[in-house]
Amino acid sequence: MSNLALFPVVIPLIFAAILMLFPKKLHMQRIVAIAGVVATLASALVLFSKVNSDGVQAVTLGSWPAPFGISMVSDMFSVLLVLSSTIVTLFVLFYSIPTIGVKREQSFYYPAVLFLMTGVNGAFTTGDIFNLFVFIEVLLMASYALIVHGGEKPQLRESIKYLLVNIISSALFVSAVAYLYSVTGTLNMADLAVKIPQIEAVGILTVIAVLFLVVFGFKAAIFPLYFWLPGSYFAPPMAILALFGALLTKVGVYAIMRTYTLFFTMNTGFTHELLAIIAILTILAGCVGALAYFDVKKIIIYNIIIAVGVILFGISQMNAAGVEGSIFYLIHDMLIKAALFLLVGILTVIFGTSDLRKMGGLIKSYPFFGWTFLVAAFGLAGIPPLSGFPGKLLIVQGGFEGTHFWGSLVILATSLLVLLSVVRIFIYAFWGEPVKIVTIDRKHYLSMFVPTAILVALTVFLGAGAELFMPFISDAGEVLLNPSLYIDAVLKE
Minimum gap (Å) between residue 440 Cβ and another protein: 23
Q: Which is nearer to another protein, 55 or 231 (CB)?
A: 231
Instruction: Check binding of 178 to another protein (CB under 8 A).
Output: yes
Q: Which is nearer to another protein, 101 or 151 (CB)?
A: 151
- 148 to 177, contacts with another protein by CB under 8 A? 148, 151, 153-154, 156-161, 163-164, 167-168, 170-172, 174-175, 177
Tally helices (H) and strands (E) across the chain. 21, 2
Nearer to another protein, 84 or 143 (CB): 143
- Restricted to residues 396-415, the positions that interact with another protein (CB under 8 A) are none
Quote the distance between the C-alpha of residue 306 and its chain's center: 13
In the bound complex, what is the minimum distance in angstroms from residue 62's beta carbon to another protein?
13
Closest of 42, 169, 194, 33 to residue 104, by C-alpha:
33
Paired residues of 355 in beta bridges: 295
Bond prior to 451 in cis (omega within 30° of 0) = no
* Number of residues in contact with another protein under rule CB under 8 A: 37
**Residues pairing with 295 in the sheet:** 355
| In the complex, minimum distance from the CB of residue 163 to another protein, in angstroms, rounded to a whole number | 6
Binding track, positions 78-107, relative to another protein; x by CB under 8 A: ------------------------------
Please report, to the nearest 10 degrees, the dihedral formed by the alpha carbons of residues 328, 303, 91, 314 taken in order: -10
Region of 42-50, 130-138, 366-374, 447-455 interacting with another protein (CB under 8 A)? 130-138
CB 349, min distance to another protein, A: 17
Shortest Å distance, C-beta 419 to another protein: 23
Give the count of beta carbons closer than 10 Å to the beta carbon of residue 82.
28
Binding of residue 69 to another protein (CB under 8 A): no
Binder to another protein among 18, 30, 107, 144 (CB under 8 A)? 144
In the set 228, 234, 270, 400, which binds another protein (CB under 8 A)? 234
Nearer to another protein, 145 or 310 (CB): 145
Q: What is residue 245's DSSP assignment?
A: I
Distances (CA, A) of 64 to 59, 102, 286: 10, 46, 45
- Kindly state the smallest distance separating residue 61's Cβ from another protein, in Å: 13
Q: Does 25 bind another protein (CB under 8 A)?
A: no
Q: What are phi and psi of 385, to 5 degrees?
A: -95, 25
With H, G, I as helix, E, B as strand and everything else as coil, classify residue 60: strand
Q: What's the number of CA atoms in the CB half-sphere (13 Å) around residue 140?
A: 21
Q: 357: exposed, middle or buried (C-beta count within 10 Å: 0-12, 13-18, 19+)?
A: exposed
- Distance in angstroms (rounded) separating the CA atoms of residues 358 and 432: 11
Q: Quick one: which of 181, 400, 445, 461 contacts another protein (CB under 8 A)?
A: 181
Q: Which of residues 293-322 bind another protein (CB under 8 A)?
A: 293-295, 298
Q: Choose the stretch contacting another protein; rule: CB under 8 A; options: 140-148, 213-221, 344-352, 361-369.
A: 140-148
CA distance 207 to 209: 5
Q: Which stretch binds another protein (CB under 8 A): 137-145, 194-202, 330-338, 398-406?
A: 137-145
Minimum CB distance to another protein smaller for 186 or for 459: 186
User: Between 129 and 476, whose beta carbon lies closer to another protein?
Assistant: 129
Residues 183-212 that bind another protein (CB under 8 A): 187
State which residue, 153 or 442, has the beta carbon closest to another protein.
Answer: 153
Given the complex with another protein, which of 26 and 204 has the nearer CB atom? Answer: 204
> Binders of another protein among 267-296, rule CB under 8 A?
293-295
Among 39, 69, 130, 358, binds another protein (CB under 8 A): 130
Find the binder of another protein among 23, 30, 179, 349 (CB under 8 A): 179
Cis peptide before 385 (omega within 30 of 0): yes
- By CB under 8 A, tell whether 231 contacts another protein: yes
Q: How far apart are CA 123 and CA 268, in angstroms?
A: 25
Query: Checking phi first, is residue 361 left (phi over 0); if not, alpha (psi -120 to 50) or beta?
Result: left
Closer residue to another protein, CB minimum distance, 159 or 459: 159
**C-alpha distance across the termini of the chain, in Å:** 7
Cβ nearer to another protein, comparing 158 with 475: 158
What gap in Å lies between CA 369 and CA 409, rounded to an integer?
Answer: 33
**372-to-201, 344, 426 alpha-carbon distances in Å:** 54, 11, 10
- Site residues for another protein, 106-125, by CB under 8 A, read none
DSSP string over 383-441: -TTSTHHHHHHHHHHHHHHTT-HHHHHHHHHHHHHHHHHHHHHHHHHHSSS--------
Q: What residues line the site for another protein (CB under 8 A)?
A: 130, 133-134, 137, 141, 144, 148, 151, 153-154, 156-161, 163-164, 167-168, 170-172, 174-175, 177-179, 181-182, 187, 231, 234, 293-295, 298
